[in-house]
Structure 1
Amino acid sequence: MTSLHRMLTIAALAACVSLLPAEDKPAPAAVAPNEGEVKALFNGKNLDGWVNVNCHPDTFFVKGDEIITTGTPTGFLRTEKQYENFELDFDWMHIEKEKMANSGLFVWGDPLPAVGTQYTRGIEVQVLINYAPKDGWATSHGDIFSIHGARCTPDRPHPTRKGMERCLPSENRVKGGGEWNHYKVIANDGAIKLHVNGKEVSGVSKSNPRKGYLALESEGAECHFKNIKIKELPSTNPKPEECAKVAEGHVSLFNGTDLKGWSTKEGEWKVAGAVLKCTGTADIMTEKRYGAAELIFDWKVPQNTEKAQCVVSVGGAPLIITLPNGVKPGSWQRQTFRVEKARGVAPIAFKATEGLELMNVFVHELKGNK
């Protein structure tokens, strides 16, 4: 075949392809935003791009080029956007040199905490030092495990607790308090591999969810984070049931530390362990007034309570909540109260009930709210 014939043949084939119906043409590969590009997840100046979910405003702060958590109260700081597949690099350091110091990275988490806890459902990458339980169920060197309803399969079966969804590291590489550690987290198609100070030591697979928010944990100890960088990888198309919930604009009404933003008689409600507890007979209400809104909160009454209920008011509309059939007092319950047509603008109020405990109190003001 002459060169001219080859050129004509190629041109004819190209023309045939261009005439194919759109559905017969090869679809271009989906490309995630910033895919393949290393991006700073923390700008080194402020917490833009991050959301303090349920902690006091001072719990997470920026100093120098570091994100620092005081560890009090317990809770988490999450990214504004969700991530699926990625390579994440960051450095971390605990200050405590002798006692146990705990924190963590949550992968593929929900935007709000799970019921009855300050932490999200997801996969946790442990950030821990000075911990060595006698039965060897956990380590201070990069465990990975599912929390609060998430699922995963450890790369190696747990050595002391059969069926536990926790991968212990193959090697002890984490440095102690006052020293920086480097973590590289590779997350892809439901699998997570953790590199500690330059070497892979632990991993899990078949995670659910496998798309969601990333978060830094506050858990009782001062911890520093810096050089947080991420490179997104191509999507592996998770099903809806494999994705974390999406944030809907709820903001916390309770900072887990004190009664700022609330009004009640002195001594009638107290804060302990990031929980708000009724200790008297006076109601408690927000200082801010709300109209149409959606309120989400967890509530619990003591086991010996005869009348297990919680009474709350949003936008002037009251709601009496009782336990579901078959559920006994003493366990945390989540309640969502949505008022689309408020009677007016009023504080969100909880009626005093003996022994009532509240946590994870979030509100989302609805369109048209004044």
Structure 2
Amino acid sequence: MKRLAFLCLCMSIPALATAEEPPAEAARQPGELVVGVGPGWRPLKEADFAHVNDEADTWTFADDKAEIRCKGTPVGVIRTKDAVKNFELVVEWRHLRSGGNSGVFVWAPPKALADLKPGHLPPGGIEVQILDHGYAEQYKLSTGKTADWFTTHGDVFPVGSSTMKPFPPLSPDGSRSFPTKHRSWGLNQWNHYYVRGVNGEIRLWVNGEEVSGGAQCQPAEGHLCLEAEGSPLEFRNLRIRELP
């Protein structure tokens, strides 16, 4: 997440009230979910990841439950051991604290991960953002303004040395693909991301509907990373299918 000054400021804001009760299952499934089952699909487990700039207890894998728990600190990432080019990825996630911030980095180049110090995020890759709705609420409390440079429903944007032509609608500065629909559920509720990256084009589906993405990504090959950014969250049912 950019705007580090705001990130530091909002760390001092008390957590907001607990989340609303999850909606009925029927209300949660407006679109057909890609669950990652079939020829070529495989789970991503602890053996598929390499540590980058975390601590021993930052990430906890429960492969028998297909879950990955992240305590959120220090800020940083873990990466897939192997780089990927064309792929489909399924990720389920939920934030455990109001205002939580995380993401999935796509096509992060090896040089952006080399010698990365704790407290830093890779200076390269395409970020598929994972934000709790409380992040926008805390931003408004701290600044008195309604956020217009990010959303909490699945922004996609290039980081550092990477480039991308975002799909509209765009953020005011044109750097981010904003979601066409508000599809993310709130605190403590499981969300479903389906990400497809093919020939430099990245597309994101949130809870069954396509919402954002971009084309002409450079580089269009690299590691997939899970992000810790100061707040606890959980991932589950990570599954990938590599494509020609």
Interval of TM-score (by shorter of Structure 1 and Structure 2): 0.7 to 0.9
Residue 165 of structure 1 and its aligned partner are, at CA, apart by: 2.1
Instruction: Name the larger-Rg structure.
Output: 1
Task: Give distance in 1, aligned partners of 2:171 and 2:61.
Answer: 39
Q: CA, structure 1 residues 159+52, in 2 after alignment: closer, same or farther (shift >3 Å)? A: closer
Q: Which residue in the other structure is 1:218 paired with?
A: 228
In the alignment, is residue 119 of structure 1 matched against residue 116 of structure 2?
no
- AA partner of residue 186 (structure 1): R
Task: Give distance in 2, aligned partners of 1:52 and 1:206.
Answer: 29
Q: CA, structure 1 residues 38+70, in 2 after alignment: closer, same or farther (shift >3 Å)? A: same
Q: CA, structure 1 residues 159+220, in 2 after alignment: closer, same or farther (shift >3 Å)? A: closer
- Say which SS state the counterpart of residue 73 (structure 2) adopts: coil
Q: Which residue in the other structure is 2:166 paired with?
A: 154
Residue 65 of structure 1 and its aligned partner are, at CA, apart by: 2.9
Q: Which residue in the other structure is 1:91 paired with?
A: 92
Residue 157 of structure 1 and its aligned partner are, at CA, apart by: 5.2
In the alignment, is residue 186 of structure 1 matched against residue 185 of structure 2?
no
The RMSD of aligned alpha carbons is 1.9
In the TM superposition, what whole-angstrom CA distance separates every residue of 1:259-286 from its partner, at most 9, and x where no partner exists?
A: xxxxxxxxxxxxxxxxxxxxxxxxxxxx
Q: Which residue in the other structure is 1:202 paired with?
A: 212
Q: Which residue in the other structure is 1:61 paired with?
A: 60
In the alignment, is residue 70 of structure 1 matched against residue 71 of structure 2?
yes
Task: Give distance in 1, aligned partners of 2:243 and 2:101.
Answer: 29
- Say which SS state the counterpart of residue 165 (structure 1) adopts: coil
Contact 2:171 2:177 in 1 (8 A): no
Task: Give distance in 2, aligned partners of 1:149 and 1:118.
Answer: 15
Residue 52 of structure 1 and its aligned partner are, at CA, apart by: 1.1
- AA partner of residue 221 (structure 1): S
Task: Give distance in 1, aligned partners of 2:186 and 2:211.
Answer: 17
In the alignment, is residue 108 of structure 1 matched against residue 107 of structure 2?
yes
TM-score calculated relative to the size of structure 2: 0.74
Contact 1:135 1:160 in 2 (8 A): no
Paired residues for 1:5-16 under 5 Å? none
Residue 89 of structure 1 and its aligned partner are, at CA, apart by: 0.7
- Percent identity reads 39
Unmatched runs of 5 consecutive residues or more in structure 2: 1-38, 140-145
Q: CA, structure 1 residues 159+213, in 2 after alignment: closer, same or farther (shift >3 Å)? A: closer
- Say which SS state the counterpart of residue 108 (structure 1) adopts: strand
Task: Give distance in 1, aligned partners of 2:76 and 2:116.
Answer: 13
Structure 1 runs of 4+ off > 3 angstroms? 113-117
- Name the count of aligned residue pairs: 192
Q: Which has the higher contact order (CA 8 A, sep 6+)?
A: 2
Contact 1:76 1:218 in 2 (8 A): yes
- AA partner of residue 101 (structure 2): N
Contact 1:105 1:217 in 2 (8 A): yes
Give the structure with the larger helix fraction: 2
In the alignment, is residue 167 of structure 1 matched against residue 168 of structure 2?
no
Task: Give distance in 2, aligned partners of 1:221 and 1:88.
Answer: 23
- AA partner of residue 142 (structure 1): G
Task: Give distance in 1, aligned partners of 2:116 and 2:95.
Answer: 28
Task: Give distance in 2, aligned partners of 1:167 and 1:50.
Answer: 28
Contact 1:52 1:60 in 2 (8 A): no
Task: Give distance in 2, aligned partners of 1:104 and 1:114.
Answer: 20
Paired residues for 1:1-370 under 5 Å? 37-42=40-45, 47-63=46-62, 64-96=65-97, 99-111=98-110, 112=113, 118-120=120-122, 121-130=124-133, 131-132=135-136, 134-156=146-168, 158-161=170-173, 164-234=174-244
Residue 110 of structure 1 and its aligned partner are, at CA, apart by: 2.5
Residue 114 of structure 1 and its aligned partner are, at CA, apart by: 8.4
- Say which SS state the counterpart of residue 170 (structure 1) adopts: coil
Contact 2:66 2:238 in 1 (8 A): no
